[in-house]
């Protein structure tokens, strides 16, 4: 059974701080990694994706991937109250395989 | 506007009364999928479809049926709903099922089975 593990939280950070969200996965064959944000009662929306080891930056968001250690993380710089949401890590193997989601980490940014 | 639509958005029904939740996408996507989301269990895949007339079971298919007669539509059918199917349901689509394709989600359908 392919597993994607996330700490459920809540992770509380003060406004302006860096929020660090972590995700580990069990399938070494995983090729692509996605971070989705989901506000309460709403549908998930893609924030970032990463395929190669290292860092990928997009505005205040940085995704980090370490395939050897089988973890992927999301850093949110200058956290804002509007970043308060559940963040879902999703992992995909190559080919016609399904996207496997973690259960999500709830982030709370305190003003 | 490129989007995935679902109907109805909210539904309260009774045990055993057949229902269909519709899903439609206007992006010419090949891949479509249904998920249910429950507190503490996260998003779990029910069924998926690689293309027209091709469907397959996900992690939790029991009690559900799907069909893919047209590329844009992927309805979810509950022949005899039970209270344990009370959940938040999401339809999603992507260009293909390949490695690097973003999945776009519909707005969700909140189903309550009494």
Percent above pLDDT 90 for chain A: 82
pLDDT band, very low/low/confident/very high, at A16 (cuts 50, 70, 90): very high
Residue B102 DSSP class: P
A31 forms beta bridges with none
pLDDT in tens for each of the 114 residues of chain B? Answer: 889 999 999 999 999 999 999 999 999 999 999 999 999 888 999 999 999 999 999 989 999 999 999 999 999 999 999 999 999 999 999 988 777 788 999 999 999 999
Whole-number pLDDT of residue A98? 82
Q: How far is the C-alpha of A107 from the C-alpha of B92, rounded, in Å? A: 24
Query: How close are the terminal C-alpha atoms of chain A, in Å?
Result: 40
When computed from its CA atoms, the radius of gyration of chain A, rounded to whole angstroms, is: 13
A30-38 and A85-93 strand pairing = antiparallel
**Mean pLDDT of the region A79-96:** 92
For residue B50, the chain A residues in CB contact (below 8 A) are 96
Q: How far is the C-alpha of B107 from the C-alpha of B10, rounded, in Å? A: 11
Nearest CA in chain A to B98: A95
Q: How far is the C-alpha of B99 from the C-alpha of B78, rounded, in Å? A: 30
Interface of A with B (CB under 8 A): 8, 31-32, 34, 41-46, 49, 51, 88, 90, 92, 94-99, 101-104
Whole-number pLDDT of residue A1? 64
Residue B81, preceding bond cis, omega within 30 degrees? no
When CB atoms are compared, the residue of B40, B50, B106 closest to A96 is: B50
């Amino acid at each position: 059974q392919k597993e994607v593990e996330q700490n459920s939280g809540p992770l509380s950070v003060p406004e302006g701080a860096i929020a660090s969200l972590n995700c580990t996965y069990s399938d070494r064959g995983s090729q692509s990694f996605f971070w989705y944000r989901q506000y309460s009662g709403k549908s998930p929306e893609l924030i970032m994706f990463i395929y190669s080891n290292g860092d990928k930056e997009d505005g205040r968001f940085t995704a980090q991937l370490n395939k050897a250690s089988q973890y992927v993380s999301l850093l949110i710089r200058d956290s804002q109250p509007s970043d308060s949401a559940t963040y879902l890590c999703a992992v995909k193997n190559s080919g016609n395989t399904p996207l496997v989601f973690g259960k999500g980490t709830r982030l709370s940014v305190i003003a | 506007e490129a989007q995935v639509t679902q109907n109805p958005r909210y539904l309260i029904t009774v045990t055993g009364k057949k229902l269909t939740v519709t899903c439609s996408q206007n992006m010419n996507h090949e891949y479509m999928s249904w998920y249910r989301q429950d507190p503490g269990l996260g998003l779990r895949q029910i069924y998926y479809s690689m293309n027209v007339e091709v469907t397959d079971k996900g992690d939790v298919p029991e009690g559900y049926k799907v069909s893919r007669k047209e590329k844009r539509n992927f309805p979810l059918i509950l022949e005899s709903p039970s209270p344990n199917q009370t959940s938040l349901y999401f339809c999603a689509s992507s260009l293909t099922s390949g490695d690097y394709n973003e999945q776009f989600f519909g707005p969700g359908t909140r189903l309550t089975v009494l």
